[in-house]
Amino acid sequence: MASHIQRRKFLAALGGAAAAWPLAARAQQPTKLPTVGYLGGAGPAADGQRVASFVQQLRELGWIEGRNVTIEYRWAEGRPEQMAEIAAEFLRLKVDVIFTWATPPAIAAKQATSVIPIVLAVVGDPVGTGLVVSLARPGGNVTGLSIQETEIASKRVELLREVMPDVRHLAFIGNLGNPGIMLQLREVQAATRTLGLEITTPEIRRAEDIAPAFEALKGHAEALYVASDPLLLANRVRFNTLVLTARLPAIYNSREWVEAGGLMSYGPNFLDLFRRAAGYVDKIPRGTKPGDIPVEQPTKFAFVLNLTTAKAIGLTIPESFLLRADEVIE
């Protein structure tokens, strides 16, 4: 009884707004708390900081895990078949919102349901991959944040070229089973053509393909463009070891990779995007339809450089290039 009174007090504190969680669901299960299904494309270790950022912001918005909201965490470890199974499980659990990041889990969730709202913390190109109709008016049951990877792909190629002016042969490393990565590859191919570079694209679709891909690159690549997604992030430690062993300069999409020993990254702050995505989850119970919430894009992009890694692979970083970095990790 006490908890019921607490719950009523909390709803009153929210101005009754939280009462807008689907009435049918609450009528069937009066004791069931609003539930967020967290579809982690990678694993708890790789996703840890991002999850913490998301949960902290939910708390600041008044949603406290275990008290007035339940979060069901599931991890796909980069496996597409697991993503589909998790999405199906969330349907059975009748979650109120599915929260995820990256294109493959987003597609798995959208294929599983056209009714349950889906909020995306980070996705490469939601329009190009058919997740939403447009950024301004997503339509359907999907909304969230887009990092428009296709639009900043050429900038990453240019940064690689600047740090290695003599580079002639680039390798594009990414999960070719991910439609968002394929769109990014097209942009990278266009950028390499403009700069007169050759490009190699080893076939990676599963974790087992990563090591053979590096074997195939020996003597064929001088630098790496890494198109990160749940598959690579779930295998980050092994992946970074292979990159460092190959002594190849590499550029990534987020600071997390550089923290873990990658050479450099250019992209938005992923932790900030997960924080902002919590605001989307907060809007759903207040009666806002996901299709009416515009998909936002990051406004700030940071260039991060790891000087320790540069020294380890024998790369001399020009002073002018160092000065351009937003952050230098030593």
What CATH number is associated with residue 42? 3.40.50.2300
**92, burial (CB in 10 Å: exposed 0-12, middle 13-18, buried 19+):** exposed
Would you state the pLDDT for residue 30? 54
CA dist 249 to 159, 192, 224, Å? Answer: 11, 16, 6
For the segment 84-90, the average pLDDT, to the nearest whole number, is: 98
β-strand 250-252 against 264-267: which pairing, if any?
Answer: parallel
How does the average pLDDT of the chain come out, rounded?
A: 90
In this prediction the pTM is 0.87
Same-domain check for residues 89 and 234: no
Same-domain check for residues 117 and 208: no
Same-domain check for residues 133 and 275: yes
Quickly state the pLDDT bin for 2 (edges 50, 70, 90).
Answer: very low
pLDDT above 80: residue 161:
yes
β-strand 169-174 against 142-146: which pairing, if any?
Answer: unpaired
pLDDT above 80: residue 88:
yes
Q: What does the CA dihedral 312, 313, 318, 324 come to, rounded to 10 degrees? A: -80
Same-domain check for residues 139 and 262: no
**Domain of 123?**
2-147+270-292
pLDDT tens-digit map of 276-306: 999 999 999 888 999 999 999 998 899 999 9
pLDDT above 70: residue 10:
no
Would you state the pLDDT for residue 150? 82
Same-domain check for residues 182 and 226: yes
CA dist 186 to 42, 70, 180, 227, 231, Å? Answer: 24, 40, 10, 12, 20
Same-domain check for residues 10 and 158: no
Same-domain check for residues 133 and 282: yes
pLDDT tens-digit map of 163-179: 999 999 999 999 999 99
Residue 117's nearest CA partner among 272, 279, 270, 280 is: 280
Same-domain check for residues 229 and 110: no
Same-domain check for residues 246 and 318: yes
Report the length, in residues, of the chain.
330
Quickly state the pLDDT bin for 51 (edges 50, 70, 90).
Answer: very high
Would you state the pLDDT for residue 131? 97
For the segment 122-149, the average pLDDT, to the nearest whole number, is: 94
Residue 149's nearest CA partner among 109, 108, 191 is: 191
Same-domain check for residues 262 and 316: yes
d(CA 326, CA 16): 43
Quickly state the pLDDT bin for 31 (edges 50, 70, 90).
Answer: low
Close Cβ partners of 137 (under 8 Å, ≥ 6 residues apart): 291, 292, 294
Q: Are 222 and 236 in contact (CB under 8 A)?
A: no
Q: How many domains does the chain have?
A: 2
Same-domain check for residues 192 and 228: yes
β-strand 302-306 against 264-267: which pairing, if any?
Answer: antiparallel
Same-domain check for residues 142 and 236: no
The letter for the amino acid at 10 is F
Would you state the pLDDT for residue 7? 42
